[in-house]
Structure 1
Amino acid sequence: MSKSKTLAEMKSWILSLSIAVGIVLIVRTFLFAPYIVEGASMEPTLHNQEKIFVNKLTTVTGFARGEIVIIKGSEDNYVKRIIGLPGDKIEMKNDQLFVNGEVVKESYLAYNREVAEQMGVYLTEDFETVTVPKNQYFVMGDNRLVSMDSRNGLGLIKENQIVGSPEFVYFPFKEFRTVE
């Protein structure tokens, strides 16, 4: 093989690898990324140490009440559920969530509510009405008895703190499923 042909082939490989690395960086930075769930605050929806694939495009399309999101904290990332959108009035009375004066049925809490009832406690303690400011969100974990969230430590979440929404659990493999 001639020296010029070898050099051309090497340039071709370097170009191909550079393009591949560029595509991976763009996809991971702007479209999708893996995250690890840490802690029990979203059980039974998501479990400690599950690996999830996060869609970052949801930051462009906007968020919906009830949607699970990844939040970038100052030191850690958090997985929580959006309870209140900008402008909403959120209140908890007698273990019932009220958004803008209407009771919200939270079917994803059925298991945790049953556990709380067996313990003789409310799943979610009462709190006064909170009005969610513009460009912020009120979030809570599904396992309200142990979750640090907008009620007790995280505060309201700024829109630019939200990384994206988990699409599916990919590890452990036997637990592969979409996230809802």
Structure 2
Amino acid sequence: MKKAGSFIWDILKVVIVALIITMVVRTYLFAAVKVDGDSMDPTLYSGEYLFINKLKTADRFDIVVFPAPDNESAEYIKRVIGLPGDKLEYKDDTLYINGKKYEEPYLDEFKKQESSALTPNFVIEKIPEGKYFLMGDNRRVSNDSRYFGAVNESTIDGVVIKWGKKNL
């Protein structure tokens, strides 16, 4: 009887250690998220599962996950367009950051399908320190920083990990 109890205790210790390791990894290192909605089409599709790196600092054009500023029970997945201190301008469906023109190849598929501008003209004079300007790739349906403003860097949960053939 003592051997059976010892065996059960040994298994229980392994299970507890595995759960602790899983919780630490999930909380501080990596997490799985599910895409819900069309705002990142055609780069990401609703129902797709992704992993995020919680340690990486977001950089320009990374895709990030963060709590929705306008819906406390949701998370958003958007692309980093502007960094702290940047001046952003969209003019004639072209992105300019600090006066320099930038290509956005992830929008090419939508731009081929549309006869009018995908991204309406706008100017952001300066993104505040500690904030990021985030936009969805499906600009016509994306609820993003154009509507709720720049997002605090501290609220970004993680950066989407790239894999496969897709151009994230």
Identity of aligned residues (%): 38
CA distance in 2, matches of 1:177, 1:49: 18
TM-score normalised by length of structure 2 = 0.91
Counterpart amino acid of 1:99?
Answer: I
Q: Which runs of 5+ in 2 are unaligned?
A: none
Q: Report the CA distance shift for 1:179/1:56 in structure 2 as closer, same or farther (over 3 A).
A: farther
Q: How far does residue 128 in structure 1 lie from its aligned partner after superposition?
A: 2.3
Match of 1:135 in 2: 130
CA distance in 1, matches of 2:64, 2:158: 6
CA distance in 2, matches of 1:158, 1:177: 30
Establish whether residue 161 from structure 1 lines up as the match of residue 145 from structure 2: no
Q: Report the CA distance shift for 1:16/1:178 in structure 2 as closer, same or farther (over 3 A).
A: farther
Q: Which runs of 5+ in 1 are unaligned?
A: 170-175
Q: How far does residue 129 in structure 1 lie from its aligned partner after superposition?
A: 2.8
Counterpart amino acid of 1:115?
Answer: Q
Note the alpha carbon deviations across 1:18-41, whole angstroms, 9 max, x for none.
001101111111111111111111
TM-score normalised by length of structure 1 = 0.85
CA RMSD of aligned residues (A): 1.6
Note the alpha carbon deviations across 1:138-169, whole angstroms, 9 max, x for none.
011111111111112x3211012111122257
CA distance in 2, matches of 1:101, 1:178: 29
Q: How far does residue 6 in structure 1 lie from its aligned partner after superposition?
A: 2.2
Q: Choose between structure 1 and 2: higher strand proportion.
A: 1
Q: How far does residue 90 in structure 1 lie from its aligned partner after superposition?
A: 0.8
Match of 1:33 in 2: 31
Aligned residues: 165
Q: How far does residue 177 in structure 1 lie from its aligned partner after superposition?
A: 5.2
